[in-house]
Chains A and B, each alone.
Chain A
Amino acid sequence: MDSLLILIPAALFLGLVGLVAFLWALRSGQFEDLDGSAHRILFDDDKPLPPPGN
């Protein structure tokens, strides 16, 4: 039973980390252009890419 005292908070905490990560991604516009992002990585441009527009 002692293991539960560690495992339950650990499970909840990890789940929460995932949730926060998702909400952050949503807020910072990661879900705006799902097709483009897949290809963007292949653009070999010597210039830095512009910041994502919202």
Chain B
Amino acid sequence: MTTQCLHCSQDIPPSQGGEFCCHGCEAAYHLVRGLGLEGYYARRCVDPAQRPLRPEDGGAPIDYGTHVHEDEGGIQGLNLMVEGLHCAACVWLIESILSRQPGVVTARVNMTTRRLVLKWRKGEAEADALVGAVNGVGYRLVPFDPGVMDRENARQEKELLRAMAVAGFVAGNVMLFSVSVWAGHVSGMGQATRDLMHWLSALITLPAIAYAGRPFFHSALAALRHLRTNMDVPISVGVLLTAGMSLWETVRGGPHAYFDSAIMLLFFLLIGRYLDRRARGRARASAEHLLTLSALAVTVIDEEGRRHMLPPARVKAGMTVLAVAGDRIGVDGTVIAGRSDIDTSLISGETLPQPVEAGSRVFAGTLNLSGPLTLRVDAVGEGTLLAEIVRLMEAAEQGRAKYVALADRVARFYAPVVHLLALCTFLAWVFGGGMAWQEALLIAAAVLIITCPCALALAVPVVQVVASGRLLRQGILVKSGSALERLARTDTVVFDKTGTLTLGRAEPIALDGLPPDDLRLATAMAGASRHPLARALVKAMPGVPVAAGVEEIPGRGLRLGDVRLGSRAWIGAPEAAGEIEGPELWLHRPGTAPLRIAFCDPLRSDAAATVAALKAAGCRVALLSGDRAPVVEAAAREAGIEDWRAAMAPADKCKVLDDLRAEGRNVLMVGDGLNDAPALAAADVSLSPSTAVDVSQTAADAIFQGQRLGSVAEVVAVARLADRLVKQNFAMAFVYNVVTVPMAMAGLVTPLIAAAAMSGSSLLVIVNALRLGRRRA
């Protein structure tokens, strides 16, 4: 019978007892209780697939101070992304914790976008302290800067929504008049009344077209200026021509006016355009995200030995810099003095900390784990390896931007054909049928309207929004509509190992086979260290008190009196045959044989099943990793991947992907580290787990949450289904056009038929797309 931790609801191993799984949770619980917010525990609903609400000890410390912006009036503000939000109770808890801190003006969490806006009065609160309170409960707050692109996007989205509202309002009202007129044709409405109805329609439609049509007119004009045509050209021409001709009919007192068709067309198209914009998601701003990695102040030591905190921009090559334990190093440099372990996972994907000493090179973006280091700066800012990785990524992204969305490909063919048809109709009636040119123009306009770009314009965005919505419910965030199209064509899946195929953390294995007393001693010593292996051991052996008097020797291990815990080299243990490759700790007590504690980075529980599912779906699966060959081979074997390569640098990964693409394959890359970011951008389409570093989340087309890798197979399946539905929608729109266009060319389409046909085809397309939301793949 396991009990659950009062704070994070994870199971507490029976051996440990108590009410909490770790000290962090206990502290968090008392923090929440102390604020009188324990109602949270009664209200929340914990989603097991999500990250548990466990305060993280360690991780890279984030310098929140650099992200604070100041308004006039002495109000400081911070925009943050919240990780670990389960439900509304979390929103309440975060807002309550923050608003009870002195000096806070507003704290509001947006549950939809998972963003937090925090404002406080300058001088009464500190960013780090405020955020620390929330981090202490177990959420993770990441500074996030809504970039210029993001704001521009939001502005355009609102603009479209306004245009849509105006078009919808007018379309509804014009329909009132149109229905009266159509009924009047049957029941014999008087000419004067009909004209009044037409005039009223004109009165409200023309301003609405002028307002709501602007997005299309702008884009059509831009296309014509470059002597190209796009989907917006026939739309603009059709709408303007129809409105103009209808006005002329109204002035003349004619029987048919098409005001309702014109505005309805705009309304449907604006729906499609708005959904398209929603599906497009957030813009990428990779450079900004990288700045957050290196926006940490650097401690520079001048000739007199005094320390200054300088922003990275003011550090020059040749300066001397100090990096204390726990610091993210902000420069590329060479170690002059000191000894430590460096976590290079961000750059190389290597899971294990690398020991460094005088003469070793270190890179910006890596994390100093155990001892203070004095560095000579070799490169800063644009010269660092980090910046080079960004450049690789940007180059790769430009290559990817060449992909043309399906809707655009259809539009290229569609626009000239429609114009040609309308023109032929006009000429045929005028010269072949001897009709007055005004009448012929009206029929030509009817052709433009009836070819119904609405079904075409809705065909793709509706499916994409429904598909994105369905994936979002399963914790997969797709960033762009075109990503779905590219995902549907995937035939090769490339995985990174660390953090993607695996969970990205070390776990000790076969602890049962070790003498318990030695194990307890090792754990007690490990409690004093921040080294990931030591921490993993402590996590696996809960309830062991930390030993006092442990001394840490950076780059080597721990010492407690004569007992030593650390690397093989330091203990001086002999090489033994038949040992499983992998990270290890050695415990040495004087007079006994050294004891080996082996670790592994476990695969995600459903990794093998996912690989099998992808293979069943006809994909080739490969594994590329920066890790060492034996480790990669073991992981590949366990996951069932035959095609693996190890010790790959970011540029190597890009090259492999380029080769695959040159073979004509469509590659889906799944990765999480900064070292994967260029590869993510170089692939046709890419996925990242939500635990990934910012940069790779930015570079990826989609992000999946939770521990399950099955999301990868799910994304591919849904994308393929969506692709089928889009093609069905296009087929329907095409059949519809084949039927109605000849009618329009023959001059048989009255406003009533146009309205019915247009709404009918659009509804059909929407209903077809909604099937995707219901069906379970």
A residues contacting B by CB (< 8 A) are: 1, 4, 8, 11-12, 15-16, 18-19, 22-23, 26, 31-36, 39-40, 42-43, 45, 47, 50-53
Contacts and interface: CB of A to CB of B under 8 A. Distances in A.
Nearest to B190: A1
B418 to A, nearest CB: 32
Contacts of A39: 87-88, 91, 111
Given A15-B169, A40-B88, A53 B200 contact: no
Contact of B108 (A12, A19, A26, A50): A50
Contacts of B109: 36
Given A19-B169, A26-B162, A39-B88, A50 B99 contact: yes
A33 B111 contact: yes
A15 B166 CA distance: 10
B774 to A, nearest CB: 21
A41 to B, nearest CB: 10
Interface residues of B, number: 30
Contacts of B169: 15-16, 18-19
B511 interface: no
A3 B113 CA distance: 50
A50 B112 contact: no
Interface of B is mostly: helix
Contacts of A16: 169
Interface in B77-131: 87-88, 91-92, 95-96, 99, 105-113, 117, 119
Nearest to B166: A19
Contact of B96 (A4, A18, A45): A45
Contacts of A4: 193
Contacts of B173: 11-12, 15
Nearest to A1: B193
A12 B176 CA distance: 10
Interface in B166-189: 166, 169, 172-173, 176
A50 B92 contact: no
Given A11-B176, A45-B96, A34 B112 contact: yes
Given A12-B173, A12-B204, A16-B169, A52 B108 contact: yes
A26 B165 CA distance: 10
Interface of A is mostly: helix
Given A15-B172, A50-B99, A43 B92 contact: yes
B162 A23 contact: yes
A21 B117 CA distance: 26
B111 A53 contact: no
B158 interface: yes
B649 interface: no
Given A11-B176, A35-B111, A39-B111, A23 B165 contact: yes
Given A50-B108, A53-B106, A36 B91 contact: yes
B111 A36 contact: yes
B161 interface: yes
A45 B165 contact: no
B110 A33 contact: yes
B282 to A, nearest CB: 15
Interface in B13-43: none
B92 A45 contact: yes
A8 B161 contact: no
A18 to B, nearest CB: 7
Given A8-B200, A39-B91, A40-B88, A50 B106 contact: yes
Interface in B148-169: 158, 161-162, 165-166, 169
Contacts of B176: 11
A3 B247 CA distance: 26
B200 A50 contact: no
Nearest to A51: B106
A11 B108 CA distance: 40
A15 B96 CA distance: 41
A19 B95 CA distance: 33
A53 B230 CA distance: 39
